[in-house]
Amino acid sequence: MGRELTPVNRIVGIETEYGCLVADESAQATSDSWPVRIKNQLFKKLQVGAVDLHYRDYEEPPGNGGFLLNGGRLYVDMGHLEYASPECLTLRDLVAYDLAGDIMVQNAVRSMRAEGKVAFIKNNIDHQTGATFGCHENYLMRRDLQFTPQSLGTLLSFLATRQIFTGAGRVGQTNPLSFEFEEPQRSPVDFQISQRADHIVNDIYQWVQFNRAIINARDEPLADQRKYRRLHLLIGDSNMSPYATALKVGTTSLVLTLLEQGHLPNSVVLQDAVVATRDISRQGTGRGLVKLDDGRTRDVLDIQYEFLAIAKKHFAGMDSETEWVLENWEFTLDALGSDPLLLIGGVDWISKRWLLEMFMEAEKLTWQDPWLQSIDLEYHNIDPEKGLFFSLTPSKRICEWNNSVRLPEAVRVPPENTRAAGRGCAVARFLENPNATYLINWDSISVEGETPLAMPDPFETYLEQVNTFLR
C-alpha cells in the first residue's frame, strides 16, 4: 500500500498549453513558429533547463523540449508551447509553480524584445477555428482504490458542477462535432462559464485528442505503479486568477480524499455528466437546475454545498491549507448565491463577464460584436502590462492570495519536498557540463554508461541519490 494521501498531502501538477497571438505580418512570415522560438530562447539563451537529447516519442524529437531547473517540463506539442509544472505537495506550491510557467514564457518574450510582435495567451479556445487546447490536472491516488459506478458518478458530478467557480468564461459557443444525442441550439449563446465545456464529449475515455473526456483513463502513473495511479483530468479551464487555480485544485483534492475514504455524498449522481457540463456552462450564471440519475433535479449551487458540508465534517481543523480551502470554498459559494461581484479577480468567468459588460455599455455593443472576442482573448494575455486580468482590483482576501503566490524564483528553484528537487538538481548539473549525455524522465535519470537512477516515489526528493549518481 502506498503512502496515505491526505487532502493537501497529495502530489499534484498542472499542464498548460498556451495560445499564441502574432501581431504583424513580418512576425508571421518567420521560418520558425513563435512557440519554437520561445522554447529555443528559454533553453539556449536563458538556460532554464536541459534540452532533450533523445526522442521521447515520434512527435517529440531531440530538441523539442526539456526538463527545467524547477523540476517541471517545457516543450512544443502540436504547435503549442506547453508547460508542465513540477510535482507539488502543497497547494501554495502548486499555484506558484503553475504561475512560474507564465513568468518563464513572458521572460523569454521580453528578452527577445518581442512584446510588440507576439503575445502568449493562457486560455483554451481559438475563436476563429473552433480549436481547443488544454489545461490538464494530475492528482496522485492510491493504486488499491476500487472505483465503483457510484463513486465515479459522484466524482463526475463534482467535476461538472465545480465550473461555477473554476470556469474561465468565453464569448459565444462551439459545436466541435455533430452528435445524434445533441439537440439543436435554439438560440445563440452569448456568454458561457467554461471554455472547455463545448469540447468535452465523453465522461471517461482513454484517447485525448478526438474524444475528449472529463477524465482521461490512460493508466500512466509516472510513479511506482504497484502503489499509485494518476488521475488525469481534461475538463478544467486555464485560470488567470491564482485564487481560482487554488480553489480548483484544493477542492478537487478534498473530494478525492472523500472518495478514497468512502465519504462521498450518495445522492448527487447526474443523469449525464457531459450534457450537464455543457448545460451549466451555457446557462452562464452559475445557477440553474440539472437532472440527476434518480429523476430529480437539483440546483448546481446546492450540489456544491453538499460536497462542501461533507468535506467540512471530515476535514475541518486538519491543517492550515485545508482550512484555507474550506473557508474560501464556502465564501465563494456564498458570494455566487448573493453577490457574485465579490469574486472579481478570484473567479475568472465572473471577472471577464463584468469587464465585457462594462465595455459593451461604454461602446454600445451587443454580444454578437466580434470586438468582444478580442477582449475575451486579451483577458488571458500573460503579459502583466497588457493582460486585462491584471487590470482588475480584487477584494483584500483575493488580492492577498494572488500576490502571495507570484514568485519569480519558482522559475529556477524546484519544490523542496518532492521528486522535483532531485530532478532540478540533475538539470543544474547537466547545464554545468555541456558535454554530458543524459536522458531525463519524470521517474528516472540516465547518463551514458551508467545504470539509470530510478525515482519511483514522488514523495522522495532523491537529492542524495542524484548527487551520488552524478558524482
The answer for residues whose C-beta is within 8 angstroms of residue 379's C-beta and 6 or more apart is: 123, 240, 348, 351, 352, 355, 387, 388, 389
Helices (H), 270-412: 273-283, 300-315, 320-338, 348-363, 371-378, 396-404
- Residue 401's SS3 state is helix
State the catalytic residues: 77
How many angstroms separate the most distant Cα atoms in the chain?
69
C-alpha cell at 12: 499534484
Residue environment code for 126-151, b if the CB has 16+ CB neighbours within 10 A, otherwise e: ebeeebbbbbbbbbbbbeebeeeeeb
* CA–CA gap between residue 280 and residue 193 (Å, rounded): 8
C-alpha cell at 227: 502503489
* CA–CA gap between residue 328 and residue 319 (Å, rounded): 14
| DSSP state at residue 8 | T
Strand partners, 381: 121
Per-residue CA distances from 45 to 42, 104, 107, 119, 358 (Å): 6, 13, 11, 19, 42
The answer for residues whose C-beta is within 8 angstroms of residue 177's C-beta and 6 or more apart is: 201
Q: Which H/E stretch holds residue 425? A: helix 420-432
Q: Which H/E stretch holds residue 120? A: strand 118-121
